[in-house]
A and B are shown apart, each in its own frame.
Chain A
Amino acid sequence: MKLSDFDLMTHLIREHSGLVIPRERVCALEHQLARAARRHSLRCAEEIGHALSAGSYRELLDALCDELALAPAGFMNPSDQMAQFREITLPYLIKHRAVEQKLRFWVVGCGRGQAAYSLAMVLKETSELADWQLEVHASDRSGRALAGAEAGEYTQSESQQGLPIGLQLKYLHQAGDAWQVKDKLKKLLRFSNIDLLEPEKVEAKGPFDAVFCRGLLGHLEGETRDHLLEHLNQMTATDGFLYLGEGEASGPLGQRLRVLPGWPGIYRPAGDQEPPALEQVAV
């Protein structure tokens, strides 16, 4: 691909979805284009470029943006943040929600659902929460990814990525060559098709006790990114938590979020009120 073609493509993609593709990713984009070309019976990546710049193939552009935005999959990923959530954040929330006995979470850009199901497994494995009301909201702008997440079906290989065998046998069952998430886990989840570039359309209303949005803000820039971060912050309870990718909290609001000491990527929301300090919890 010529760099001028690449620049044209990335411009179209940014206009359409807000995604920013840096020049280092020219190889990744070519690869995705070749796959998209195959699916749409076009001869080559260049032909896609011409079709897109001529204004046709809007759905192709949709599909392309979906693929480029897909976060790295795998269960319990990243394992250190999941361990932190289980051992520090969750005991804190259990203590601070002892009266309501209700916890709500939001996984933003859930892709095919591994992160949301992982979160649900951690909740199910916490015996103190047995009688609590638990909700895991999961959203993605890609209808295709979301359909996959709702189906909760994974290949043999996907089902093993990051998932201990004990949890796999407990919450998934083998159905032919695939593995299917069991209903007892699925019933914690609420899926919705949300384009975060239009946050006013978000149906899942806050506040959430923790919001997870990894590997999405890093693909955005400028106002688009600032607005999304602002929205995520608003949707997080005053004493809640924001799980982002490392270094993804930037811009004016990013400066005001307080990172958990020792946990890059995990933040307390910024607001008028100070959340109760985490140190008050014995862990």
Chain B
Amino acid sequence: MEAREGRTRPIRPCQQRRMANLLEKSEEMTSCLIVDDSEAVRRVVRGMLESLDVSVEEAPSGAQALAVCKAKAPSAVVLDGRSADRAALDFLRDLRAQEGIDQPAVLFCPLEGESQQVREALDLGANEVLVRPFDRDLLRSKLTLAGVLQSH
């Protein structure tokens, strides 16, 4: 645990491109995929993201989320981690195993910050963790830390 903490991940090519885009103030809109089985939660998070000028895709399951990532190459994925089952972690593993796609930044959203589930998500390649419940400001703060949004 101690050795893993604070480790900096190597910057992936897709993140380099994203940073370059941010620097050039690219006109291309930042896009975000919400993965959550609750339609109500997706709608709330969609509202927050749209108010941050982020275009939004939604997926209720990991399988559908993977299809969206392949087809639409979102800049980021807001991944629900409320459930104790492994669906979210399995999706994350499958996503990171995909070759030849633009890998999105992944924001993992669990109910507890200090847990085995969070450590696993980070090991599997989640870029940041946003513990529920969260509001628009926290979402923006974490998307900025993940390099998806520019600091204001």
Interface residues of A (CB under 8 A from B): 74, 78-80, 125, 156-157, 159-162, 164-170, 173-174, 179
CA separation between A159 and B134, bound complex, in Å? Answer: 12
Max chain B C-beta neighbours (<10 A), residue from A78, A169, A174, A179: A169
How distant is A212 from chain B, measured CB to nearest CB, in Å?
Answer: 18
**Residues in B neighbouring A159, C-beta threshold 8 A:** 113
Is B28 an interface position by the 8 A CB rule? no
Known: A79-B151, A170-B6, A174-B113. A161 touches B138 (CB 8 A): yes
On whether the beta carbons of A160 and B114 are closer than 8 Å, the reply is: no
**Is A160 a contact partner of B5 (Cβ separation < 8 A)?**
no
Does the CB pair B6–A160 fall under 8 Å?
no
Write the nearest CB–CB distance from A153 to chain B, whole angstroms: 14
Report which of B112, B134, B151 forms a contact with A157, defined as CB distance below 8 A: B134
B137–A161 contact, CB under 8 A? yes
Q: Which residues of B contact A157 (CB under 8 A)?
A: 134-135, 138
Choice from B114, B137, B141, B144 contacting A169 with Cβ under 8 Å: B114
**Which A residue's beta carbon lies closest to that of B126?**
A165
In the docked arrangement, what's the CA distance between A165 and B141, Å? 12
Decide: A79 near B144, CB < 8 A? Known: A125-B6, A167-B6: yes
B112:A160 contact, CB within 8 angstroms: no
Which residue of chain A is the closest to B129 with respect to CB atoms? A165
Q: Evaluate contact between B151 and A174: CB separation under 8 angstroms.
A: no
- A162 and B6 alpha carbons, distance in the complex (Å): 15
A170 contacts which of B5, B129, B130 (Cβ < 8 Å)?
Answer: B5
Q: Mark B102-141, 1 if CB is under 8 A from A, else 0.
A: 0000000000111000100010000011110011011001
State whether B141 touches A174 (Cβ < 8 A). no
A166 and B131 contacting across the interface, CB-CB below 8 Å:
no
